[in-house]
Structure 1
Amino acid sequence: MITPSFHISQDENFINIIIKCPYIKAQNVEFFVEGNEFKFYIKPYYLRLNLPGKIVEDGREKATYNIKTSEVTVRIPKETPGEYFEDLNLLTNLMAKSKKDETKKHSLIEVLNSEGTLENQPRLSETDEIDWDMIQELPKAEDNDLLLNSHYGFDNKYTNLGRQLQEIGSDVVNRELAEVLDTSTPESRRALRLMQENEKFDDDYYMDNFINNEEIKYFLKYKPETWVVLKKIQKEKKEELTKLENKVSKMNSFFKFTEEENRMMTNLPNIEFNITNEKALYLGLVDLLFAYCYDYRTTEGESTVESPWTIVNLSSSLSCFDTFLTLKETLTACIRRSLCYPLYRNFDLSMKCIIDVYVLFKLGKIAILKALLHMKKLFESQESYYIYNRCWIDDYCIWVQRCSKKILKSLASELHVFKIPKKDIGFDLEECEMIAKEIDAIEEDE
C-alpha cells in the first residue's frame, strides 16, 4: 500500500484532512473514525493517523474529491467544539502508533540493552529540571561493550560505517576519523577533533577577519525570518490573543509546511526510539542548528552548493561523530569550529549564530523541524552527503516531532543568557585581537 501525501487544517468545529490521490475512483473512498484514530483507504492508498484530539462520526462528516487537484478532502467534526488540536503539521508524529497499540506491545515485549539485561535508563520528562552544565562522565570503553563495538551517530545506534566513509570523497568526510571510526571511542574521537582544530586555527586569518570586517558587520546586522516571526508572536502574546482563529492564522504563516516538506515528513520511517541518552540528543541538536544558522546567516537564507560542506564542518556531531556532556562544552565546540573552517571567522559572528539558535528553540518544534528538513534537503542534493542524513538528520527529524516542549524552552532560556570568555575558547583570541589592533594602528600612521 502507498502512503499518500496529505496535510491537515482545522477550524473551531472541524478537522480537514486533504489527501493527494491521483487516478482513483472517488466513489470507492472509505474512511473510518474512532476517538483519536482516523483511517483512510482507496486502492492503492492507505493512511492511518492518530490525532491529538478526539473526532466523531455524527452525520456531519463528509468527503469530497477535486478532480483538478486530485485531492480528497475529508471533513470530520471535533468531539469537543472549539478545542484546538496542536501540532497537526507534524505529520510523521501523527502517523505514529496509537498509545493503545503501544500499551499492548509493551505488555508483551521487554526492551533489553546490549548486555541482554532489562533496559532501565532514566528519561527526561516534562517535569524534570535540567542542569545543562552538569558534568556527566562518558562511559569507559573497557566497561561498556557498546563502545567496544564502536557505536556512534544518533543516540549511538549506528556501527560499522567506517568503510563507507572512506569510500566517500576526502573533501566531504574527515579522512583521519574515517580510518579509525570503527575502533574509536567517544574519548578518542574528541581528542582527534581538538587536535585537528588546534592545527587548523590560523592566527593571521582570524586577525584579518577581525580588522577587515565590513562584510562581517553586514552579516551581523542581517535579521533572519525567524527573528521577525518571534517578535511578531511576542507582540501578539502581549495583546492576549487567545481565540482559535488567531492560533490557526499564526500556524498558516511561517509555521505552515510546504508541500515538499510534507512529502519529506510522510516519507520518513515511522520509528519508535528507545532513547539511551536523551540529554545528549538535545545538546547534539544545538550543535546541528548552530552549523545550520551560521550557513543561513552568511548566505542570507540563500543556500549555495557549499552549504552542505559548511554545515558538516561546523558541526562536531557530523564531522567528528562527537557527543556532548554540557551546554557550555557544546557551544565552545561550535565556536571553535566556526573560527577554524568557514570563510568568515569572527567571534562576534559566532555569538550572533548562538542567538539564532536561541530563536529557533524559542519558536519551538516546527521551526526546528523546518531547519532540519532544509538540512536534509541540502544533503540529498549532493550524493556524497547521504551518510549524514542516515546517521543523524533523518532520526532527528522524527525524534524532534515527539520531544519535550518544556525541555526545548529550558534550552532556549539557557541559550538566551549564554556568555563565554574568549580565553575559554583556547585559541588566544584576545592576544590575536590586540596584535591586530596594533598592526592596524601602525599601518594607519604610515
Structure 2
Amino acid sequence: MITPRFTCSQTDASVVISVYCPSIRAADVEIHVDETLVSFHVNPYFLRLNFSHPLLEDDTSSANYDPSSGYLTVTLTKETKGQEFKDLDLLTKLLAPRKTKVEPTIEVLSSQENEEEELVSKVDKLSLEQNEILEAAENDWQLPQQLPQDEPLLDASLQKYYGFLDTHSGYFNHVTHTENEINELGVDAETCSPDERRRRRIQHENEKWDEEYYMADFADDEYIQELIKYTHPHIAALEEVKYTEAENLTMMRLPRKEYLPSPIQTHCLYLTLITLLFSYAYESRTTQHDPTPESAWTICNLTPAFSALDPPNTNSLGLIRITDLNTFSLEEIAATIIPSYRRTLAFPLYRSFALAETCRKDVSGFLLKGKRTVVRCLLEMKDILDHHEVYYVYNKVWVDDFCSWTQAHASDDTLKGLGELLGRTEVDKGAIGWNLEELEAATRDILGREADSDDE
C-alpha cells in the first residue's frame, strides 16, 4: 500500500483532509471514522490518521474528488464544535498508531490435555491466509506507514511541457531558424527538465553579471533617479478602469478555455503573475509608458518564465510544505521576485537596485488596484509582444492564457492581498548573490577620494 501525500486544516466546526490520490475511481473510496481514528483506502493508497479529538461522520460531512487535480477533499465534523485540533501540521504524529486502550488478557478455559491437543490440531490446519488474518487482528490491522519521500517522478519521455499550466510544447522545435536572442535554452528548450532550466538560467545570469557596469550606474545615477520619480498612470488613476475599443477587441480574440488548475498550480500562477508584472513595470518606467522597439526584448529578458521557461514552482519555493495554499508569506514573495531583481541587474540598459525596488512597488500598486488594472497591464504587454516577429510566441505560451485566467478566475481579494504583501516585502541585497553592498561601498569610497582630490 502507498501512503499518499496529504494536508489537514480546520474550521470552527470541522476538520478538512486533502489527500493527493490521482487516477482513482471515486466510487471505490472507503472512509471509516472511529472517534479519533480516520482511515482512508482506495487501491493502491491507504491512509490512517489519529487525531487529538473525536470526529463524526454525519450529514454535514462530505468527500469530494477532483479528477483534474487528483485531490480528494474529506470534511469531517468535530464532535465538540469550536474545539481546537493542535499539531495538524505534524504529519508523523497524525500517522502514529492509536494506543491500545485495553491490555490483552489470557483466560484459561480448561487444562485438559485432550482439549489442548484438539486446539493445536485446529490451528495447524489453518491456511496461510487465515494465519495472516489472525496475526493482523492481533496487531489491530495497523499496517506500517511512513511519509512519502519527495522523489522525482520517473519520466521516460524526452518531450517536456512548459508555459501556462505546463500545457504547451513544440514552439521551440525550430529555434535554429529564428533569431530568438532571449532563449537561454537553445535547441534544448523542448527537452530540458525544470531543474535544468533553472540551473541554466542562474548560470546565464552569473555570466552576464558585470560588476563595473553596476558600479558605474551606481556612481552616475542622475537619469536613473529621474526614472524612479516617474509615476505610472495606472497607479495614479483615480477612476475605475474602462477598457478601450481596441482592448475589448483584443479580449474577444483571447483563448476561450476552461482552466482546471490544482491548488498548487493556482498558487504558482499568482506568483508567476508577479514576475510578469515586474517586467512590465520595468519596461513602462524606463520608457515612460511609451514602448520602443526594444521593449519586447526588455520584457522577455526580465521574465524567467520567458527566457528560461522557469516560473516559480513547488521545487524552487518549497511549496510542497505549505499546508494552506490560499495564503502567501513575505519570505515566499521575496523568493519569487529575487530572480527578477537579478535579471534587472544583469541585462537591461539601467542596472540599479533602487530602480528594481521601485518596480516592486509598482507591481504592488497594480495588484492593489485590482483585477481590472492587472488585466490592462497584461493586455499592454501582449500588444508589445504581438508586434515582434519572434517574441510573439511568449504570448501564445503565457500571456494570452494569463489574460483569460485573470479575468475569469483570479480573485480580487487575493490580488490585493498579494499587493499588500509585496509592498511590505524587503529584498536583502545579500540574497541577490553578487556582493552588492561591497560594490556600493567601494564606489562610495572611490567617489570620496575623487572629491578630496578635486578639493586639493
Q: TM-score, normalised by structure 1?
A: 0.62
**In the alignment, is residue 431 of structure 1 matched against residue 438 of structure 2?**
yes
Q: Which residue is 2:141 aligned to? A: none
Secondary structure of 2:173's match?
helix
How far has the Cα of 1:194 moved from its partner? 0.6
**Among candidates 406, 414, 417, match of residue 413 of structure 2:** 406
**Among candidates 203, 225, 247, match of residue 261 of structure 1:** 247
- Between stretches 176-185 and 369-378, larger displacement belongs to 176-185
How far has the Cα of 1:120 moved from its partner? 2.7
Once the two structures are superposed, what CA deviation does each residue of 1:382-406 show, in whole Å capped at 9, x if it has no partner? 1211210100000001000021112
**In the alignment, is residue 153 of structure 1 matched against residue 153 of structure 2?**
no
**In the alignment, is residue 368 of structure 1 matched against residue 354 of structure 2?**
no
Return closer, same or farther for 1:178/1:432 CA change in 2, 3 Å cut-off: same
Once the two structures are superposed, what CA deviation does each residue of 1:292-316 show, in whole Å capped at 9, x if it has no partner? 0001011111111100000000111
Gaps of 5+ in 2: 1-64, 74-148, 318-331
Q: Which amino acid aligns with 2:205?
A: E
Return closer, same or farther for 1:390/1:146 CA change in 2, 3 Å cut-off: farther
Gaps of 5+ in 1: 1-109, 123-138, 233-249
Return closer, same or farther for 1:121/1:282 CA change in 2, 3 Å cut-off: farther
Aligned residues of 1:163 and 1:178 also touching (Cα < 8 A): no
Q: Which residue is 2:218 aligned to? A: 210
Structure 2: distance between partners of 1:399 and 1:156: 14
How far has the Cα of 1:322 moved from its partner? 0.6
Q: Percent of aligned positions with the same letter in both sequences?
A: 35
Query: What pairs up with 1:118-267 in 2 under 5 angstroms?
Result: 119-120=70-71, 142-143=152-153, 145=155, 149-171=159-181, 173-174=182-183, 176-229=184-237, 232=238, 250-251=239-240, 255-267=241-253
**Among candidates 290, 293, 310, match of residue 278 of structure 2:** 290
User: How many equivalent pairs are there?
Assistant: 294
Secondary structure of 1:304's match?
coil
Q: Which amino acid aligns with 2:394?
A: Y
Aligned residues of 2:197 and 2:308 also touching (Cα < 8 A): yes
Q: Which amino acid aligns with 1:275?
A: P
Greater relative contact order (Cα < 8 A, sep 6+): 1
Structure with max Cα Rg:
2
**In the alignment, is residue 312 of structure 1 matched against residue 300 of structure 2?**
yes
How far has the Cα of 1:278 moved from its partner? 0.7
Structure 2: distance between partners of 1:408 and 1:149: 34
**In the alignment, is residue 417 of structure 1 matched against residue 417 of structure 2?**
no
Return closer, same or farther for 1:401/1:164 CA change in 2, 3 Å cut-off: farther
Secondary structure of 2:289's match?
coil
Return closer, same or farther for 1:170/1:386 CA change in 2, 3 Å cut-off: closer
Q: Which residue is 1:386 aligned to? A: 392
Return closer, same or farther for 1:315/1:162 CA change in 2, 3 Å cut-off: same
Structure 1: distance between partners of 2:275 and 2:255: 24
How far has the Cα of 1:270 moved from its partner? 1.2
Aligned residues of 1:291 and 1:310 also touching (Cα < 8 A): yes
Q: Which residue is 2:114 aligned to? A: none
**Among candidates 242, 250, 257, match of residue 271 of structure 1:** 257
Aligned residues of 1:332 and 1:425 also touching (Cα < 8 A): yes
**Among candidates 289, 297, 321, match of residue 301 of structure 1:** 289
Aligned residues of 1:142 and 1:148 also touching (Cα < 8 A): no
Q: Which amino acid aligns with 1:265?
A: M
Structure 1: distance between partners of 2:292 and 2:153: 45
**In the alignment, is residue 441 of structure 1 matched against residue 451 of structure 2?**
no
Structure 2: distance between partners of 1:162 and 1:264: 25
Once the two structures are superposed, what CA deviation does each residue of 1:163-185 show, in whole Å capped at 9, x if it has no partner? 143432043x32x4032122211
Secondary structure of 1:345's match?
coil
Structure 1: distance between partners of 2:150 and 2:401: 26
Return closer, same or farther for 1:369/1:165 CA change in 2, 3 Å cut-off: farther
How far has the Cα of 1:140 moved from its partner? 7.3
Structure 2: distance between partners of 1:178 and 1:312: 15
RMSD, aligned α-carbons: 2.3
Structure 1: distance between partners of 2:302 and 2:172: 20
Structure 1: distance between partners of 2:221 and 2:207: 24
Structure 1: distance between partners of 2:166 and 2:354: 33
Q: Which amino acid aligns with 1:407?
A: T
Structure 1: distance between partners of 2:306 and 2:234: 24
Return closer, same or farther for 1:186/1:315 CA change in 2, 3 Å cut-off: same
Once the two structures are superposed, what CA deviation does each residue of 1:133-161 show, in whole Å capped at 9, x if it has no partner? xxxxxx97841549864111111111233
Structure 2: distance between partners of 1:399 and 1:165: 28
**In the alignment, is residue 358 of structure 1 matched against residue 361 of structure 2?**
no
